[in-house]
């Protein structure tokens, strides 16, 4: 599919400190037409088809190139890059706080996890990991576990829709809506919140949030129960999913697969347990595991995890009731005002803060201006932090040169790594099973392409 020639650079590479005698390798990509021509020459009834990049079962703009022998998939390849946003590069030209509004938009189904991974990495370089207020960490845990449930609900709802089960989709999105209302109450937005900030969270929980959560949780639990009743022992669904998209533990470890796919292969690997962050080691919950290695096992893992997330949220709201502490780090050189209200400055700062900086302290006004416009400085260094997202290990690597902007930010998005399994899950199966396999991976292309 590709050729490489060893020749002198025709475009004058010698002008770029390269000797005239230095060989230059020019690699050229192949074309899928050549695959079709090869199949024709062998007089075999093979055909190369595209699934996507607009197919509804691709969870975004994913292109799958399938080589078929009748109804059987003999080769499957994934083509990505159609949703590229340049988020990582753009973050190099914004302050550390502004970076949150970029990375939250990567995997748009789990925005709070993107924010948390980034902020934990920034806090690690700043050396303030242990200074984050307990209430801020508890709020982060509550919001992330709610986001885990919404992500799994989207996976089940869209997966059901792709298999023709419309009721699964309507119930899934109905239950997700309950949580999005809580997100909107807390952050002002249903998605892409930019709520988790370096040092804590943007603002404390509004009055009435805990009561709203308590009232909503039993309804959410009943809704998940309805999905279970529709799915778990449904003979049609089991016929489509049992032993489909098979990938055992050896295959998972070889490809670097994490999350529900890995846990459906029998390994109870969960970073909330093995490398806890945000105080997860103090919560009582279990890691959901199955040993079927197939699409059905991944479905059951996700349902089990939603119940465990509800269990964690119940513990979190108990703590929030008993801990009225601050939600932002005490260091004023880092902390943005964390008690926000709609103020006369149009930026949402609290009235007390406006009163101080506008009428009492010129020093506070100057500090606020520099903090917002220039941003705080992060000491030179680098850090990598990984968290357990709904899809697997989500890692963030940040590099600082001591300035107010990142030198480099790079994410290890689980959808990108897990999508490698598409070929292993699909080849040898039927065309219809490709849809089931991709749905069980649950890739979101915003996180893949970034």
Rounded to whole angstroms, how far apart are CA atoms 229 and 223? 10
The pLDDT assigned to 3 comes to: 47
DSSP secondary-structure letter at 111? H
Per mean pLDDT, which range of 7-21, 210-224, 324-338 is the poorest?
A: 7-21
In the predicted model, is pLDDT for residue 30 greater than 70?
Answer: no
CA atoms within 13 A on the CB side of 87: 26
3-state SS assignment for residue 75? strand
Coil, helix or strand for 296? helix
> Per-residue pLDDT for 11 more than 50?
no
Cα–Cα dist 43/85, whole Å: 43
Model confidence at 131: pLDDT above 50: yes
- For residues 315 and 145, is the Cβ–Cβ distance under 8 A? no
pLDDT at 397: 93
Q: What is the mean pLDDT of residues 164-176?
A: 88
Quickly count: other Cβ atoms within 10 Å of residue 353's Cβ. 19
pLDDT tens for 205-241 read: 888 889 999 999 999 999 999 998 888 888 888 888 8
Q: How far is CA 383 from the centre of its chain?
A: 19
* 3-class SS of residue 309: helix
**What domains are defined for the chain?**
2-79 (no CATH), 87-334+376-449 (1.10.645.10), 335-364 (no CATH)
Give the Cα separation of 188 and 181 in Å (integer).
Answer: 9
Report pLDDT digits (tens) over 386-436.
999 999 999 999 999 988 889 999 999 999 999 988 888 888 888 888 888
Q: Which residue has the tokens 């801990």?
A: 323
Tokens encoding 387: 């968290």
**In whole angstroms, what is the distance from residue 132 CA to residue 302 CA?**
30
Find, among 224, 136, 135, 138, the residue nearest to 179 by Cα: 224
CA dist 17 and 214 (Å) reads 67
């Amino acid at each position: 599919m590709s050729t490489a020639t060893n020749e002198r650079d025709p475009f004058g590479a010698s002008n770029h400190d390269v000797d005239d005698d230095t060989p230059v390798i020019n690699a050229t990509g192949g074309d899928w037409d050549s695959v079709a021509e090869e199949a024709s020459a062998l007089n075999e009834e093979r055909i190369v088809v595209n699934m996507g990049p607009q197919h509804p079962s691709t969870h975004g703009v994913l292109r799958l190139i399938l080589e078929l022998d009748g109804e059987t998939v003999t080769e499957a390849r994934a083509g990505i890059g159609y949703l590229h946003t340049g988020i990582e590069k753009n973050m190099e030209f914004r302050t550390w706080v502004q970076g949150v509004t970029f990375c939250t938009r990567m995997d748009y189904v789990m925005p709070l996890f993107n924010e948390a991974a980034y902020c934990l990495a920034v806090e690690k370089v700043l050396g303030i990991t242990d200074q984050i207020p307990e209430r801020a960490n508890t709020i982060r845990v509550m919001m992330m576990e709610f986001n885990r449930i919404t992500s799994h609900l989207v996976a089940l709802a869209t997966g059901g829709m792709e298999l023709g089960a419309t009721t699964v989709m309507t119930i899934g999105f109905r239950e997700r809506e309950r949580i999005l209302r809580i997100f909107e109450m807390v952050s002002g937005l249903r998605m892409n919140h930019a709520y988790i900030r370096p040092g804590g969270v943007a603002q404390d929980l509004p009055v009435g949030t805990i009561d709203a959560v308590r009232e909503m949780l039993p309804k959410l639990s009943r809704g998940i129960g309805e999905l279970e009743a529709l799915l778990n022992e449904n003979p049609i669904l089991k016929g489509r999913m049992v032993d489909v998209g098979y990938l055992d533990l050896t295959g998972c470890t070889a490809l670097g697969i994490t999350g529900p796919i890995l846990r459906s292969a029998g390994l109870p690997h969960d970073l909330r347990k093995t490398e806890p962050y945000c105080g997860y080691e103090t919560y009582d919950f279990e890691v959901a595991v199955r040993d079927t290695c197939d699409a059905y096992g991944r479905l059951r893992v996700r349902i089990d995890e939603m119940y465990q997330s509800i269990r964690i949220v119940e513990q979190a709201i108990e703590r929030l009731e008993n801990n009225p502490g601050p939600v932002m780090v005490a260091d004023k050189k880092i902390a943005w005002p964390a008690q926000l209200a709609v103020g006369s400055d149009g930026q949402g700062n609290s009235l007390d803060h406006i009163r101080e900086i506008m009428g009492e302290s010129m020093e506070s006004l100057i500090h606020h201006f520099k903090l917002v416009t220039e941003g705080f400085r992060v000491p030179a260094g680098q850090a990598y932090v990984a968290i357990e997202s709904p899809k697997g290990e989500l890692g963030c690597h940040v590099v600082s040169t001591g300035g107010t902007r990142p030198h480099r930010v790079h994410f290890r998005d689980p959808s990108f790594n897990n999508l490698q399994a598409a070929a292993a899950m699909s080849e040898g199966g039927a065309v219809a099973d490709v849809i089931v396999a991709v749905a069980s991976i649950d890739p979101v292309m915003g996180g893949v392409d970034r």
